[in-house]
Amino acid sequence: MMSILKRMAAVSVPLFAAQACAAPLSTLDPAGPSAEAIAWLWWVFLAGAGGLTLFVMALLALSFGAPRAVSERRWTWGLGVWFSLAILSAMLVAGVAVGERLLPRDTALEVRAHAQQWSWTFTHPGPDGTVIETGRDLHIPAGQPVDVRITSADVIHSFWVPRLAGKMDAIPGRENVLRLQAASPGIYEGRCAEFCGIGYATHRFRVIAHDPADWPASVPAQAEEAPE
C-alpha cells in the first residue's frame, strides 16, 4: 500500500496527463481531420464545463449567509431557461456542423472491414489491380479520404480507430460506412468498441496509412503480413 502511494505521489499530475494524451488509442492525440475536429470540440467543452461548474459552485457558496430577496423570474427564467438555452443552442449548431463535415460525401476510395468473433477481415485494392484480403491490418493511403464499409458476420462489433475518427458499429444484416483520413503515413491502433463476448478485450486491429506515392504498391499480400 505504502509503495503504491509513493508511486502515485512521484508522478506529477500534469506531466502524467500530457504523457497519457499521446497514447496509441488516444482520442486526444488526433492524426486525421475527423479526430482532430472532435478533439477540438472536447477542449472547448472542457473549458466551458469547467467554467460552468465553477459558476454554479460560486452561486452555491454565496447562498450561505443571511436571507436575501430573490427574484423568481431571474432564477427560473433567466438562469434556468435563457442562460442554459443560449449555451445549448450554440452546442447544437456546433455539433451538427461538425457532424456534417465528417459525413462521407463525394466518392472516395473504398475498403471493407468485416468483423467476426474475434477477428477482422479487411478487403482493399492491392498492387496491380488485385484485391487483397488481410486479417490484422487495414491498409489505406494517407492524406486522402477513405470510406470503410463495415459489416459483421455474427454479433454486433464496432470499428474504432480513435486517432483517426469516431466509431461505427458493425451490425449483422446491415452495412455502415465510416469516412477515415490519416494526415500522414503511419500505424494507427484500432479496436472493436462494442462488447462482443469472451474475446472482446483482444478484438483489435491496426490501420496502416501508406505514402500515397507508393499506394497501392506497398500493400503487402496477406501472407506477408508482418508479425507484430
Residues of this chain that interact with Cu ion (CB under 5 A) are 157, 192, 196, 203
183 binds other proteins (CB under 8 A): no
Q: Which of 2, 9, 15, 66 binds other proteins (CB under 8 A)?
A: 66
Which of the choices other proteins, Cu ion, none does residue 212 contact, using the CB cut-off of 5 to 8 A by kind? none
For other proteins, the binding residues in 103-162 under the rule CB under 8 A are 103, 117, 154-156, 158, 162
32 binds other proteins (CB under 8 A): no
Strands 109-116 and 119-125, bridge-based pairing? antiparallel
Spatial separation of the C-alpha atoms in residues 35 and 190, rounded to whole Å: 13
Residues 6+ apart with CB under 8 A from 211: 141, 142, 185, 218
Based on its alpha-carbon atoms, the radius of gyration of the chain, rounded to whole angstroms, reads 23
CA neighbor of 190 nearest in space, from 121, 115, 138: 138
Which of the choices other proteins, Cu ion, none does residue 2 contact, using the CB cut-off of 5 to 8 A by kind? none
Single-letter residue type at 13: V
Q: Which of 9, 15, 131, 198 binds other proteins (CB under 8 A)?
A: 198
Q: Of 60 and 223, which has the nearer Cβ to other proteins?
A: 60
Cis amide linkage into residue 212, ω under 30° from 0: no
Total of chain residues touching other proteins, rule CB under 8 A: 87
Spatial separation of the C-alpha atoms in residues 102 and 144, rounded to whole Å: 13
Tell me the backbone φ, ψ of residue 55, rounded to 5 degrees: -60, -50
Q: Which of 138, 148, 165, 209 binds other proteins (CB under 8 A)?
A: 165
- Region of 57-65, 130-138, 207-215, 216-224 interacting with other proteins (CB under 8 A): 57-65
CB of 208 to Cu ion, least distance (A): 20
- Region of 107-115, 127-135, 163-171, 217-225 interacting with other proteins (CB under 8 A): 163-171
Residue 102: Cβ within 10 Å count: 17
Q: How far is CA 107 from the centre of its chain?
A: 22
Residues 6+ apart with CB under 8 A from 199: 117, 118
Q: Of 131 and 198, which has the nearer Cβ to other proteins?
A: 198
Q: Of 165 and 196, which has the nearer Cβ to Cu ion?
A: 196
Q: Which of 36, 41, 108, 110 binds other proteins (CB under 8 A)?
A: 41
43 binds other proteins (CB under 8 A): no
64 binds other proteins (CB under 8 A): yes
Spatial separation of the C-alpha atoms in residues 48 and 50, rounded to whole Å: 5
